[in-house]
Structure 1
Amino acid sequence: MKKLLTIVLTLAITSLSFAQKNEIKAIEKALKNSNFADAKSASAAAEALIGSMDDKSKAKFYLLKARALYANGAGTDANIDEAITSLDNLKDLESKMGKLKYTQEANDMTTGMVNTFLTKANEAFTNKNYKVAAKRFEKVYRMSPKDTLYLYYAASSAVTEPDYDTALDYYVQLKNMGYNGAEMNYYATNVETGEEENFTDKASRDFSVKAKLHKAPRDEKSKSKTAEIVKNIALIYVSQGENEKALGAMADAREENPDDIGLLLSEANVYLKMGNRERFRDLMEEATKKDPGNAELQYNLGVLAAEGGNSEAAIKYYEKAVSINPNYVDAYTNIAVVILDGEAKIVEEMNALGTSKADNIKYDELKEKRTQVYEKAIPYLEKALELKNTNVDAARTLMNIYSALGETDKFKTMRAKVEAMEASANGN
Structure 2
Amino acid sequence: MKAKVLLIIALGVSTFGFSQKNEIKAAEKAFKAGDAESAKASLESAASLIDNADPRMQAQYYAIKGNVYSDLAKKGNNDAFQPAIDAYNKVISVEEASGKEKYTTVAAQGLAQITADIVNAAVADNGNKDFEAAADKLYMGYQLSPTDTLYLYYAASSAVNGQHYDKALSFYNELKDLGYDGSGVTYTAVNAQTGEVETMDKTTRDLYVKAGTHKDPKDDKTPSKKAEIVKNIALIYQQLGDNEKALAAYADARAVDANDVNLVLGEANLYYAMGQKDKFKELMGQASDMAPDNADLLYNIGVINMEQGNLEDARAAYKKTLAVDPGYINAILNLSTTYVNEGNGLIDEMNSLGSSRTDIARYDELKQQKDDLFLEGAKILEDALNSNPDNQSVLTQLKNIYGALGDTDNFMRVKKLLGE
TM-score by length of 2: 0.70
CA displacement 1:276-301 (0-9 Å, x = unmatched): 33333333444445555655544433
CA displacement 1:203-256 (0-9 Å, x = unmatched): 69987999899869562424x333333233333334444333333444444455
CA displacement 1:156-214 (0-9 Å, x = unmatched): 333333222222222222222223444445689999xxxxx986557699879998998
Could you tell me how far apart the structure 1 residues matched to 2:170 and 2:301 are? 33
Q: How does 1:3-42 map to 2 (within 5 A)?
A: 17-42=17-42
State whether residues 117 and 140 of structure 1, in contact with CA within 8 Å, keep that contact through their aligned partners in structure 2.
no
Partner of 1:311: 311
2:124 is aligned, of 120, 125, 129, to: 120
Instruction: Note the residue ranges of structure 1 that are not aligned, 5 or more in a row.
Output: 192-196, 420-428
Offset at residue 310 of structure 1 (A): 1.6
Offset at residue 334 of structure 1 (A): 1.8
State whether residues 124 and 133 of structure 1, in contact with CA within 8 Å, keep that contact through their aligned partners in structure 2.
no
Partner of 2:161: 160
Q: How does 1:263-274 map to 2 (within 5 A)?
A: 263-274=263-274
Partner of 2:371: 367
Could you tell me how far apart the structure 1 residues matched to 2:119 and 2:237 are? 34
Offset at residue 313 of structure 1 (A): 1.6
C-alpha change, 1:108 and 1:232, in structure 2 (3 Å) is: closer
With 246-255 and 59-68 compared, the bigger mean Cα shift is at 246-255
C-alpha change, 1:414 and 1:215, in structure 2 (3 Å) is: farther
Could you tell me how far apart the structure 1 residues matched to 2:390 and 2:212 are? 44
Could you tell me how far apart the structure 2 residues matched to 1:7 and 1:259 are? 82
Tell me the amino acid that sits aligned with residue 63 of structure 1: A
With 7-16 and 104-113 compared, the bigger mean Cα shift is at 7-16
Partner of 1:424: none
C-alpha change, 1:313 and 1:212, in structure 2 (3 Å) is: farther
1:339 paired with 2:339, answer: no
Partner of 2:325: 327
Q: How does 1:14-163 map to 2 (within 5 A)?
A: 17-53=17-53, 55-70=55-70, 71-74=72-75, 76-90=77-91, 100-103=104-107, 105-107=109-111, 109-110=113-114, 113-114=117-118, 116-125=120-129, 129-163=130-164
Could you tell me how far apart the structure 2 residues matched to 1:121 and 1:272 are? 37
C-alpha change, 1:171 and 1:83, in structure 2 (3 Å) is: same
C-alpha change, 1:395 and 1:376, in structure 2 (3 Å) is: closer
Offset at residue 335 of structure 1 (A): 4.7
C-alpha change, 1:288 and 1:408, in structure 2 (3 Å) is: closer
Could you tell me how far apart the structure 1 residues matched to 2:410 and 2:189 are? 53
1:233 paired with 2:219, answer: no
With 271-280 and 286-295 compared, the bigger mean Cα shift is at 286-295
With 404-413 and 135-144 compared, the bigger mean Cα shift is at 404-413
Question: What percentage of aligned pairs have identical amino acids?
Answer: 32
Aligned-partner SS, 2:220: strand
C-alpha change, 1:374 and 1:172, in structure 2 (3 Å) is: same
State whether residues 298 and 317 of structure 1, in contact with CA within 8 Å, keep that contact through their aligned partners in structure 2.
yes
State whether residues 117 and 139 of structure 1, in contact with CA within 8 Å, keep that contact through their aligned partners in structure 2.
no
Could you tell me how far apart the structure 2 residues matched to 1:412 and 1:15 are? 98
Aligned CA RMSD, in angstroms, stands at 5.1
Tell me the amino acid that sits aligned with residue 120 of structure 1: A
Offset at residue 106 of structure 1 (A): 0.5
State whether residues 343 and 370 of structure 2, in contact with CA within 8 Å, keep that contact through their aligned partners in structure 1.
yes
Partner of 1:176: 177
C-alpha change, 1:411 and 1:137, in structure 2 (3 Å) is: farther
Could you tell me how far apart the structure 2 residues matched to 1:183 and 1:390 are? 50
Tell me the amino acid that sits aligned with residue 308 of structure 1: Q
C-alpha change, 1:395 and 1:318, in structure 2 (3 Å) is: same
Could you tell me how far apart the structure 2 residues matched to 1:309 and 1:74 are? 64
Could you tell me how far apart the structure 2 residues matched to 1:29 and 1:258 are? 63
CA displacement 1:2-50 (0-9 Å, x = unmatched): x999999987776665454333223213323444344333334444444
Aligned-partner SS, 1:102: helix
C-alpha change, 1:374 and 1:258, in structure 2 (3 Å) is: closer
Could you tell me how far apart the structure 2 residues matched to 1:395 and 1:186 are? 55
Instruction: Note the residue ranges of structure 2 that are not aligned, 5 or more in a row.
Output: none
Q: How does 1:385-404 map to 2 (within 5 A)?
A: 393-394=393-394, 397=397
Structure with larger Rg: 2
Q: How does 1:162-311 map to 2 (within 5 A)?
A: 162-184=163-185, 200-201=199-200, 217=218, 219-222=220-223, 224-255=224-255, 261-289=261-289, 296-311=296-311
